[in-house]
Amino acid sequence: MLGRRSFWRDVIWLRLRHNKMALSGGLIVLGMFVLAAAASLVSGDPAAINVSQSLLPPSFEHPLGTDDLGRGVLLRLLYGARISLLVGFVAVGISCLIGIFLGALAGYYGGWIDTVVMRFVDIMLCFPTFFLILAVIAFLNPSIWNIMIVIGMTSWMGVSRLIRAEFLTLRERDFVQAARALGASDFRLIFRHILPNALSPVLVSATLGVAGAILTESALSFLGIGVQPPTPSWGNMLITGKQTLGSAWWLSVFPGLAILITVLGYNLLGEGIRDALDPRLNE
């Protein structure tokens, strides 16, 4: 236990601290959390309509302008940050749970279980993920919960492959053989001894997966089958911006920048964690 804590504290943290790319991504991600939390501190209803103030450019009263219904773009961006973070983390959580479970079974038991799981993974990878999501959403009510579940259930294949590969290398290690000789059950071997040592690549995949989930949700909302108005989402805010692009540039620029910066932050953080977890890198 002490060795594991020392590894994460002394090795990973030191590498992350000296990695400018990871620090930049971490600051962006932290900033997005702060903005999402600040939404509850800002007075006003993001769905409140005030037609008399429609399409106002950025000003002191409305720092990011207003949309065609007179709603403040800043307030809607803050509430949209909540939606994006919620979708990202819940969807990645679902995909990681499914991927870890199936990958652990395939990697630990091998044989026909490994064959069945991996062939199922290959079948899922044959379908373009985004079009598979579109097909499933078309048969469901387009709500935020359905979107999170569908994204999570169609993006677990990479995690399962990573976990399987780690289990294949760890299941014959001496510490696993020793625990098996002492009579440890398969459940204890999988979840107590092997899995904690196999989660490093999953952490990187999960960080990058949050960025992918946010992009997918924004794309679905932009197409009109994601988060439905009047609930603010960065994707459905872009729809309004597309309709008034020539006369109200701020409706497209600010939601687009929010998506760009957030996805960039998670990608930078994920790449930094990957570098920190690479044993070939030296301090």
Q: Could you tell me the fold of the domain covering 2-44+66-277?
A: MetI-like fold (1.10.3720)
User: What percentage of the chain reaches a pLDDT higher than 90?
Assistant: 28
Average pLDDT, the chain: 85
pLDDT in tens, 119-152: 999 998 888 888 888 888 778 777 788 889 989 9
> What's the pLDDT at 246?
77
What's the CA gap between 107 and 83, in Å, rounded? Answer: 35
Residue 183 has pLDDT above 60, yes or no: yes
Alpha helices for the chain (secondary structure H): 2-6, 13-17, 20-38, 73-109, 111-126, 129-138, 144-153, 157-170, 174-181, 186-188, 200-222, 234-243, 250-277
119 near 164, Cβ under 8 Å? no
Structure tokens at 180: 């098996």
Its pTM stands at: 0.86
Average of per-residue pLDDT across 14-20: 73
pLDDT in tens, 47-87: 888 888 888 889 888 889 888 888 889 889 999 998 888 99
Residue 11 has pLDDT above 80, yes or no: no
Residue 100 has pLDDT above 70, yes or no: yes
> What's the pLDDT at 9?
58
CA dist list (Å): 108 to 69, 76, 168: 57, 47, 7
Structure tokens at 208: 């990058």
